[in-house]
Amino acid sequence: MAMTRVTPTPPTVAVFDVNETLSDLSGLVPRLEEVGAGPEILPAWFAATLRDGFAITAAGGLADFASIGVPMLASMLNEGSLRGSALESAEHVVGAMADLDLHPDVAPGLRALVEAGVRVVTLSNGAARVAESLLERAGLRDLVEQCLSVADAGRWKPAREAYTYAARRCAADCGELALIAVHPWDIDGARRAGLRTGWVSRAAGAYPPFFLAPEATGRDLPELVATLTRGGQ
């Protein structure tokens, strides 16, 4: 008797995280060097910015990504080695987040999704114009239906309201959406809100055991898209 192969239904809409999932933050290093700082500050800065943004979210508030990221970076820069003031230097670096390159697997992954008939949107804890700018620079803006920001949801990811806002803007149910991200906290939050999930692991280590696990994982975006849409592994 032949086995029945159950092919997963593709999601209706792929909802992309932006910073680090689409964009390569290592592109901030030249700006850090321009202001007189080293690259080792980057992961600590991004983690601390998310920590404080999530704290405000957990406490019921809402803050703008740059309004946390800029003073956070300024507080971490060593005044003595800077060419300008810490705040000006931090603005110069964080302002480059809209001018970063996309990871090389993003373009083929987005094309594979669109060819499979999946709608594509972005949902960022940063400003919508950052995602617009990144996609335009890469010549991929026409593949993406909408660039959404949690600022209009009133709550940052991973609060449930951020994901349900995206579903509403896509005129779809949460279960028709697949959140695609490199950040396990985003996968966890999307699952709790009832979305499907895909984790791009790239060079990351094991998925943390304390977060809800993704439905599909790929080392790069084309591999993940194959798993999510055509039952590939």
Question: Which stretches of the chain bind a copy of itself, using CB under 8 A?
Answer: 43-44, 47-48, 50-52, 54-61, 63, 67-68, 71-72, 75, 155-156, 158-160, 184-185, 188-189, 192-193, 205-206, 208-211
Buried-state track 194-216, b at ≥16 Cβ within 10 A, e below 16? ebbbbbbbeeeeebeeebeebbb
In angstroms, rounded to a whole number, what is the distance separating the alpha carbons of residues 166 and 147?
10
Q: In the complex, what is the shortest distance from the CB of residue 59 to a copy of itself, in angstroms, rounded to a whole number?
A: 4
Q: Which is nearer to a copy of itself, 29 or 66 (CB)?
A: 66
Q: Which is nearer to a copy of itself, 7 or 67 (CB)?
A: 67
Q: In the complex, what is the shortest distance from the CB of residue 23 to a copy of itself, in angstroms, rounded to a whole number?
A: 19
At a CB cut-off of 8 Å and minimum separation 6, what does 231 contact?
A: 5, 6, 7, 8
Please check whether residue 25 is in contact with residue 19, taking contact to mean a CB–CB distance below 8 angstroms.
yes
Q: Which is nearer to a copy of itself, 50 or 106 (CB)?
A: 50
Q: In the complex, what is the shortest distance from the CB of residue 212 to a copy of itself, in angstroms, rounded to a whole number?
A: 8
Q: Which is nearer to a copy of itself, 131 or 187 (CB)?
A: 187
Q: In the complex, what is the shortest distance from the CB of residue 231 to a copy of itself, in angstroms, rounded to a whole number?
A: 28
Burial tier of 226 (Cβ tally within 10 Å: 0-12, 13-18, 19+): middle
Rounded alpha-carbon distances, angstroms, from residue 30 to 6, 81, 97, 109, 160:
48, 16, 12, 27, 36
Q: Which is nearer to a copy of itself, 23 or 49 (CB)?
A: 49
Q: In the complex, what is the shortest distance from the CB of residue 13 to a copy of itself, in angstroms, rounded to a whole number?
A: 20
Q: Which is nearer to a copy of itself, 160 or 169 (CB)?
A: 160
Q: In the complex, what is the shortest distance from the CB of residue 195 to a copy of itself, in angstroms, rounded to a whole number?
A: 12
